[in-house]
Amino acid sequence: MELPGFAVWMFICLYASVVGYPNGKVREACTSMVPCHGSAPQLTPEHTITVNGTEFKPGDNIEVHLSGPDFEGFFIQARDAEHLDSPAVGSFVLADRRHSQLLTCGRTKNSAVSHTSKVKKKDIKVYWVAPGDAPKHVQFLATVVKKYRIFWVKIPGPIVSQPDVLSPTPPLYATSEAMPTSHPVSSISKPFSASSCGIMKFCIRNPSNCDPGSASCFFLSFQQEESSVSVEMSGPSEGYLAFAFSHDQWMGGDDAYLCVNEDHHVHMSTACLKERSHPLLDSENALEDVSWRLADGLLQCSFRRRIHLPAYKGRFNLDTSYYIFLADGEASEGGLIYKHRRQPLVTDGLYNITGVPQDIGGSRAPRLIKAHGALMFVAWITTVSIGVIVARFFKPVWSHSFLLGKELWFQVHRMLMLTTVILTSISFVLPFVYRGGWSQQAGFHPYLGCSVMALTIFQPLMAGFRPSRHAPRRQLFNWFHWSTGTTARILAVVTMFLGMDLPALDLPDPWDTYAMIGFVAWHVGTDVLLEIHSYCLVCKAEVIEDDRVQILQSLTSAEAEGRLFKQIVLTIYVCGNIVFLVAFLIVINQV
């Protein structure tokens, strides 16, 4: 194939969707006739092209039949038999508009025919109209797709010639240049080993130091062999495993490699990642010594590729440092891959796989998202909860003046709440810094988060205008202050529930849900216990002065008798909160 045609073909493959062309709109394949399905075409055709004549004159109609075993898609053209890389020749007329449609390739209208849907068909009939400037010899070519990864490219059909023109000798057939190169595939003879990691191999393992033979271990290794690199990839997946080299920690413009399980047969493909869309599979395969293994719930693939591949567009040089992604997900029966349900494993820095061998881990949660989750947990599990308990039940216990003439309980409450505002504000900014803007894929989490942030800012602003203790509006302020804070806490808990299962953090299920339910029960239980204790103290009081009973405040003199009990409960409560917090932080650090 000539260089310009090859360049166009590669451009097409980089922009064609991974799901193919089920509606037959395959104009992008006009030049190469190659479907960008990410695998090599079959070599021995099962389908045939027949015509009702061997000669033609300008304006003549030639009946063309494509037939064979059931197929889903097809693409038919007529070309100059002596220059099969030249543009399509002539135009077509349809015989059945239900299963076929006309396409315009280049400047020639109706110069190709394709399918209209994936409905299975056994034969197609069309009519070719010879143009006035037809070449001496014309050959019909067809690409046939049996299913997504099983297809034939440029199946050669009969050659028709103008009268009094000698038939070309030898007969011309579709050139093999348009066909992607394929390499033999074998089975992996023995399980992968991590014994050479950090010594001869550059390895990535998750969890750290796991055995690649384990059913829970994701393993990726690189070993340089002169001018090439051998790659091993393994993990618990029924669908696909994939890794990619990237210049940053974002999907987009990356060099990707996919290992896809299709009906218990594994295909290896190279691809380009374009932002957050499906990978764009390449029709040419730069991989050698491809082998695979399916056993014990593990999908394992290995291959070798050269360090430098200047002839393959989109393939990175392997002697440069990159971030490395490792992802897994589901695949359909036809080999179509679905978006990974959880965040890919990403290295924490740039690494050169042909440099000094290392044995590293990775994280499925970016550092900024980890920090976001950690700060929110500190704010809404620890500081807010303790601050509310102190303000609600410790006014008579810590009523003595402390700093600037303010009671101790108020100073503690104010310090904890201001800490909450600071932590929440910092945490609120981090996802926007990481995403570079608003996330459209986080569901209700960011909307509720913005509501929590607004209430968090509004609460101290409202407290700054607090009326004096005996002012008529103090009771109204108390209700607003309590309702705003309670609403913020409820929304914060709901937001954390939603955020724990987002792909960017995705704490382990069902541990995260049970832990959050446990924390809510712990807080509510402590609150109820202290309320019951306060009620019992009030009931014991001989006199209740009406002017000292205020809404949401238990200020009876009898409550002072329960100081020791409250301090014990508070100590246990704080310790319990710290336990919950440490557990969350440990898990966040491990994802």
**Over the stretch 317-364, which tens digit does the pLDDT of each residue have?**
999 999 999 989 887 765 677 777 677 888 988 999 999 999 998 777
Nearest to 572 by CA among 580, 583, 561: 580
Write the CA distances from 370 to 159, 367, 475, 585, integer angstroms: 65, 5, 41, 9
Write the CA distances from 88 to 58, 125, 264, 357, integer angstroms: 15, 18, 39, 52
Q: What pLDDT, on the 0 to 100 scale, is given for residue 363?
A: 77
Helices 408-435 and 367-377: crossing angle in degrees, nearest 10, is 160
Give the mean model confidence (pLDDT) for residues 215-222. Answer: 91
Domains annotated on the chain, with CATH? 27-161 (2.60.40.4060), 186-363 (2.60.40.1210), 367-590 (1.20.120)
Residue 373 has pLDDT above 70, yes or no: yes
Q: What pLDDT, on the 0 to 100 scale, is given for residue 5?
A: 44
Residue 19 has pLDDT above 50, yes or no: no
Better-predicted residue by pLDDT, 403 or 183: 403
Place of tokens 């957050």: 276
> What is the side-by-side order of every strand in the sheet holding 323-329?
280-281, 265-273, 254-262, 240-246, 323-329, 345-346
Q: Give the model confidence (pLDDT) of 269-295 as tens digits.
A: 888 877 666 777 776 678 888 898 887
Better-predicted residue by pLDDT, 231 or 404: 231
What percentage of the chain carries pLDDT values higher than 90?
37
Give the mean model confidence (pLDDT) for residues 149-164. Answer: 89
Give the mean model confidence (pLDDT) for residues 472-499. Answer: 90
What percentage of the chain carries pLDDT values higher than 70?
84
Q: What pLDDT, on the 0 to 100 scale, is given for residue 25?
A: 63
Q: What pLDDT, on the 0 to 100 scale, is given for residue 560?
A: 54
Cis, peptide link before residue 163, omega less than 30° from 0: no
Q: Give the model confidence (pLDDT) of 406-434 as tens digits.
A: 888 889 999 999 999 999 999 999 999 88
Residue 567 has pLDDT above 70, yes or no: yes
Q: What pLDDT, on the 0 to 100 scale, is given for residue 513?
A: 82
pLDDT band at 14 (very low <50, low <70, confident <90, very high): very low
Q: What pLDDT, on the 0 to 100 scale, is given for residue 435?
A: 79
Looking at 121-135, 240-254, 326-340, which range is the least confident one? 326-340
DSSP state of 336: -
CA angle 108, 111, 116 (to 5 degrees): 130
Q: Which residues lie closer than 8 Å to 250 by C-beta, 6 or more apart?
A: none
Give the mean model confidence (pLDDT) for residues 165-193. Answer: 53
pLDDT band at 440 (very low <50, low <70, confident <90, very high): confident
Q: Which residues lie closer than 8 Å to 16 by C-beta, 6 or more apart?
A: 28, 29, 36, 280
Q: Give the model confidence (pLDDT) of 28-81 as tens digits.
A: 778 888 887 667 788 888 999 999 988 999 888 899 999 999 999 999 999 998
Q: What pLDDT, on the 0 to 100 scale, is given for residue 361?
A: 84
Q: What pLDDT, on the 0 to 100 scale, is given for residue 572?
A: 93
Residue 471 has pLDDT above 90, yes or no: no
Q: What pLDDT, on the 0 to 100 scale, is given for residue 167?
A: 55
User: What is the chain's mean pLDDT, rounded?
Assistant: 82
